[in-house]
Amino acid sequence: MSADVYTVINPATAAPVTHVHLASVAETDAAIEAAQAAFPAWRAMPPGERATLLRRFAAVVDAHVDELAELEVRNAGHTWGNARWEAGNVRDCLNYYAGAPERLFGRQIPVAGGVDVTFHEPLGVVGIIVPWNFPMPIAGWGFAPALAAGNTVVLKPAELTPLTAIRLGELALEAGLPEHVLTIIPGKGSVVGERFVTHPLVRKVCFTGSTEVGKRIMAGCAEQVKRVTLELGGKSSNIVFADADIDAAAASAPYAVFDNAGQDCCARSRILVERSAYDEFLGKLQTAVEGLRVLDPSDESSEMGPLISAQQKRTVTGYLDEVEVAFAGSTPGGDGFWVPPSVVTVDDPATGIWREEVFGPVVAVMPFDDEADAVAKANDTKYGLSGSIFTSDLGRGLRVARAVEAGNLSVNSHSSVRYWTPFGGYKQSGLGRELGPDAPMAFTEEKNVFIAH
């Protein structure tokens, strides 16, 4: 075994939680080869039996929701409300995709001289690389549809947040999934993640993380023409028109960007406000931000916790050091990696804090003049993941939603993710889609068979 060990830190207190072994290349190869060996039997399992095992896995996760949530509160600094939702999301994804094995339908296509049919067949071993910001849900978004489609999975959690993934792997075995069908392998991205890319037995890589790393993974997968799904960065806009319910828009805006301390690729970290409502909105936003309950996540009333690490805190405060903060909320202080929820006002769209993904509790606000100006400013970014539009005009809401270049948009809401609807980004925010009814198909090859009369 590799001698590498990582010390997991509680980000609210900066105190050690536990130590986790990091896999070597040899250990990664062994896990991939074991997953390949388990693949034929898992693929050949009758669809109804595979579905039953996934439902049983969901039931075991449901019985351990509070345990998984407590792990995430300590390991990732998530609030209790978020952590319970995240564990429940894994359960719900498993239940939803448990319906897929019996519904991986092919087609019969009319042809002359015979019968033509198509089949959806699993790829084999799928490598899933999970980030530290939402360790449980993003793991489930990958492994639930991949397993449902008949693949085996090796999953690398982020070094910073491996604990819930490790526990989910144990719960899968407890539920009766065959050994090596779902393997959790903590390790460095440069070791385990890189081996997913280079190992020929891994037939697809799913990666959620930064755009920069995603580009390297995509380039590496090209060497073997290996399939890849990428969910990458975001710099999403929250567009508020003057005819909107300004009270509701201002009250909800903090939760759209400061949830998970802003460590969310869907965070609405740019707020565009129609000029005639700009001052009113800012005043009400200040009240909402200053009222946000930023507490140690062990307090169940906390609405925002700490950043994940000292490095992330340095990155975020580096951005704040370059601008004047208009107003901010509070933090409990102490040794944790705390940054207050902060609002800056911006006039120049070239400003770094307006253009770059800060990945912290920081939101920039800019006025716009009309609908065309709002759309132009929203689209002036290399990203295109999510966004919101607040207006009382349904026609305008639809027009702007169609005009904004992003994969997930909400009108008079900040909802980005439902496990039964597709999720993914435009431009440099990603490649492919996760979730929704078609997700298992992304883990299959489509085979065409012609049978002559």
| Catalytic center residues | 231, 265
The pair of structure tokens assigned to 121 is 């067949």
Dihedral of CA atoms 348, 350, 353, 359 in degrees, nearest 10, equals 140
Question: How much is the CA Rg of the chain, to the nearest whole Å?
Answer: 23
CA-CA-CA-CA torsion sign (262, 267, 273, 277): negative
Note whether 335 and 13 are within 8 A (CB): yes
What's the CA angle centered on 12, arms 7 and 15, to 5 degrees? 35
Dihedral of CA atoms 356, 358, 361, 367 in degrees, nearest 10, equals -10
The pair of structure tokens assigned to 53 is 């095992």
Q: How many CB atoms lie within 10 A of CB 135?
A: 26
Q: Which ranges in 176-267 belong to alpha helices (H)?
A: 194-198, 211-222, 246-257
Q: How many CB atoms lie within 10 A of CB 439?
A: 27
The pair of structure tokens assigned to 1 is 């075994």
Note whether 430 and 424 are within 8 A (CB): yes
Residue partners of 144: CB distance under 8 A and separation at least 6: 54, 90, 93, 94, 96, 97
How far, in Å, CA of 64 to CA of 13, rounded? 25
Q: Is 40 helix (H, G, I), strand (E, B) or coil?
A: helix
Q: Is 2 helix (H, G, I), strand (E, B) or coil?
A: coil
DSSP structural state of residue 411: E
